[in-house]
Structure 1
Amino acid sequence: MAVAVVVRSENSDIADGTATLTVTTPAGTAVGDVLVAFVFADHDGTAEAITAPEGWQQAGGDGFQGGAAFGKVFVRAVTSAEPSAHTFGVPPPSSCVAHVLCVSGADTTSPVDVIAWGGSSSASTSQVAPEISPARPETLLLCGWAGVAGASSYTPPGTMIEVADTPTPYLFAAVARQALVASGATGTRTATASSSTAYLSVSVSVSPAGSSDGAETTVWISPDGTMIPLEVEWSTAGRFAPPPVLVEEGVPEQPGARHREARHGVREFSLPLWIEDSSPAALRARMRALVAAMDPVRGEGTIRITTPIGDQREIYCRVSAGLEMDETLGRTSGPTLQRCVPMFRAVDPYWYDTTDTIDTFSSADTATFFPIFPLRLASSSVFVEATIINSGDVETWPVWTITGPGSAITLRNLTTGYALTLTTTLAVGEHLVIDTRPGRKSVLKNDGTNLFTALSSASSLWPLARGSNSVRLEMSSTVALVSSLQLARRHRYLTA
């Protein structure tokens, strides 16, 4: 029998109109425990602005319910050097809540078994957390709810015990717990809100210690943020090096060819899976749920692995074939067992870190932002020449957040020679986000104003090259202790 997974303690905090939210580490936290953070922000923000500090991993995908809230769940194995508090990034326009739970008896390698988001855009006091199906017995069920109203609260479902219930001026959120004995479908959990509102909800199962036994684990995260564990057969193909594309040109009357270009092409890989449940009816329900969650028409999903090293990487992809199922009795199918071999297609062929690496600089900071720090500060300008390390295998595309006051902004990569110049003025309390990522490139002010036309004609939304990058950040008309610059990026890798 596994050691019981229990909530040892909890701490919460709120933010209203600020870019960070700091929660004190729960009392009694010890090495071997797992911290689980539920972070909610009202609908004025964005999911991307919700970030966790180093050492945390996101469980599942982003939660969002129109007219209600955004949310993310993060987990962290407690270390001997555990900090006294944890600071999360949150969207500055929003009211936000963070609940941090200290859980003992949980698996420290892959603590979250299943996660699913729910909610409704229709106002109601009966707010439903979705059904999930833990693959393992003796897990801990955690459910969270967030509604848009001030000075409001929740009454937990009758089978659950409330862990936290926190209001803000515009958002209220709660978390409740329940020990589960068996695996399989949990059913939904309905909390009662004191105000009738649209809401976001989430259900999470936390696995007992020893569940992963150091082996690699694989999950599928659907476009709506639902996370499904996958039982992967040891016969996968295509997860390591992406396919190279070599472009060559023949030369008349000469042997061979001339090399013109080398790049990585679209990646396709297969994951042979076994789907198993306790009865034919339960198996059929699980097969239907998997096919629906992997439907490529619904959007791009994510394959996330936890490696034997203990780190996590993920790749964004769609299923291109294989969910038709080969139902050959005795070979690929049985009353409670079914094999399928989905083929995944990743137009972006690289594996990513599962969380952002974030560096923040303001004129009040000590030299902790960058590893190399020749800098000059004055009331009228900020110049920072720094070495940024891209530890991935290929270039990575940063997201810059610049908080005013400030003007005449220039971001230079001295290693590659690229520069970005923006002619605009930010007042106190204003900020802009420069997103350089392919397919998402944008320059947006916090009020939604599109500042792309404010870029100079010679500007490049440049990437960080692999390895060491010498970067200079320039901004005029800054104010000490107020103006700041933030760099967020996810490193990219050739292999799982």
Structure 2
Amino acid sequence: MALENSSPLVSFRRGEQVFSLGTRDEDVLHLHGSQGLGLPPVDIQLVDRIGADGAKENGVRYKEREIFIPLLIHKRTLAECTAVRRELYSFLDPHEGPVEIVIEDPATGTVRRISGRYKGGLEGDFDSGFHGAWQTLGLKFVCPDPWWLGEQKLISLSVAPGTKPFISSSRSFFPVVLSQSTVQDRFTVEIAGAGEVAPTWQVTGPGEDLMISNGEEVFRVNHQLRADETLIIDTAKRRLIPDVWEKVPLSSRLFPLKPGANHLHITMTGATHETRITLVYAERFLEAI
């Protein structure tokens, strides 16, 4: 049985800048031989058994991962090849911070991204991989967070005309369709992947006494928002913008979204058709392809 000839599409992103690697006819190509796109390295902590054989397992965790991306620069002249290499020097400069490595898999249609800092591959060794107008390189990256992120998704809630319950609509910053079920102010978010998701909530007034619950945990903010005022609840960094923690009851808990069905309940008094509650999140995966 013949294998599909669909190599993953690889690109590097820093802010609004993108450096893309082609797969067939382009002059900067992603080659076969990538490493680090599956499960991250595993650290199993063992403690010796005193007076007994073997060891006791004390914990298991995923470690930081390294990613290796081989590429080919194939230009018409030595000068053109040098220009691309110098562009990579500048784009991947580790002193400028990490870049986002994006893997698009044509075979499954999935897109995964991870933050990594350049570690090696551009030292300027002109040996067997250098041929003047064309050159092969192998880029190495270190990713402290070993989880891959999926496409960013967004769910927007508003008040149905003539009623108080929220209705929901959903979209994403990429072409992804979300399946939602809404019953008054209750709705379900299906989380794929293997890891818990730390969402960001953005609440625009008018309204007050916001309550967000998953049935077991509840987060409340006893704060009044006027029209066009916005409160951001960043559960990943555990911060509120503006800082209104003094209006959060001690019993409140910031909770993640777990893989599978998350049944959420939101209430807010004084809400009108101008009120908006937006949920933004990205699912977490152990693999890119």
User: Fold match, TM over 0.5?
Assistant: yes
Matched, 1:461 2:270: no
1:310 match: 109
SS of 1:297's partner is helix
Match of 1:418 among 214, 217, 226: 217
1:289 match: 87
Matched, 1:345 2:142: yes
Q: Within 1, Cα distance between the matches of 2:217 and 2:277?
A: 19
> How far is the alpha carbon of 1:491 from its aligned partner?
1.1
Match of 2:129 among 332, 337, 350: 332
Query: AA paired with 1:236?
Result: S
Aligned runs of 1:69-468 on 2, under 5 Å? Answer: 214-221=6-13, 223-230=14-21, 231-308=29-106, 309-328=108-127, 331-354=128-151, 356-364=152-160, 366=167, 371-375=180-184, 384-414=185-215, 417-437=216-236, 440-444=237-241, 449-468=242-261
Query: AA paired with 1:401?
Result: Q
Cα distance change, pair 485–234 in 1 and its aligned pair in 2 (3 A): same
> How far is the alpha carbon of 1:214 from its aligned partner?
5.0
Q: In 2, are the aligned partners of 1:325 and 1:339 still within 8 Å (CA)?
A: no
Q: In 2, are the aligned partners of 1:326 and 1:340 still within 8 Å (CA)?
A: no
Cα distance change, pair 453–345 in 1 and its aligned pair in 2 (3 A): farther
Q: Within 2, Cα distance between the matches of 1:366 and 1:434?
A: 20
C-alpha deviations, 1:208-256, integer Å up to 9, x for none? xxxxx954211111x3422112222211111111122223444433433
Q: Within 2, Cα distance between the matches of 1:357 and 1:368?
A: 12
1:143 match: none
Q: Within 2, Cα distance between the matches of 1:324 and 1:474?
A: 57
Cα distance change, pair 268–403 in 1 and its aligned pair in 2 (3 A): same
Bigger relative contact order (CA 8 A; separation at least 6)? 2
Q: Within 2, Cα distance between the matches of 1:238 and 1:374?
A: 43
Query: AA paired with 2:271?
Result: T
Q: In 1, are the aligned partners of 2:49 and 2:55 still within 8 Å (CA)?
A: yes
Matched, 1:483 2:275: yes
Q: Within 2, Cα distance between the matches of 1:349 and 1:284?
A: 33
Q: Within 1, Cα distance between the matches of 2:112 and 2:93?
A: 22
Q: In 2, are the aligned partners of 1:351 and 1:494 still within 8 Å (CA)?
A: yes
Cα distance change, pair 249–450 in 1 and its aligned pair in 2 (3 A): same
Query: AA paired with 1:235?
Result: G
Q: In 1, are the aligned partners of 2:210 and 2:223 still within 8 Å (CA)?
A: yes
Query: AA paired with 2:89?
Result: V
Q: In 1, are the aligned partners of 2:200 and 2:232 still within 8 Å (CA)?
A: yes
SS of 1:270's partner is strand
Cα distance change, pair 456–324 in 1 and its aligned pair in 2 (3 A): farther
> How far is the alpha carbon of 1:310 from its aligned partner?
3.0
SS of 1:491's partner is strand
Cα distance change, pair 310–473 in 1 and its aligned pair in 2 (3 A): same
Q: Within 2, Cα distance between the matches of 1:477 and 1:262?
A: 48
Q: Within 2, Cα distance between the matches of 1:305 and 1:241?
A: 15
C-alpha deviations, 1:159-200, integer Å up to 9, x for none? xxxxxxxxxxxxxxxxxxxxxxxxxxxxxxxxxxxxxxxxxx
SS of 2:30's partner is coil
Query: AA paired with 1:455?
Result: V
> How far is the alpha carbon of 1:342 from its aligned partner?
1.7
Q: Within 2, Cα distance between the matches of 1:351 and 1:311?
A: 11
Aligned length: 263
Using the aligned pairs only, state the percent identity. 24
Q: In 1, are the aligned partners of 2:158 and 2:168 still within 8 Å (CA)?
A: no
Unpaired runs of 5+ residues, structure 2, are 22-28, 161-165, 171-178
TM-score, reference length from structure 1: 0.49
Query: AA paired with 1:420?
Result: F
> How far is the alpha carbon of 1:289 from its aligned partner?
0.7
2:176 match: none
Q: Within 2, Cα distance between the matches of 1:322 and 1:419?
A: 48
Query: AA paired with 1:373?
Result: T
> How far is the alpha carbon of 1:459 from its aligned partner?
3.4
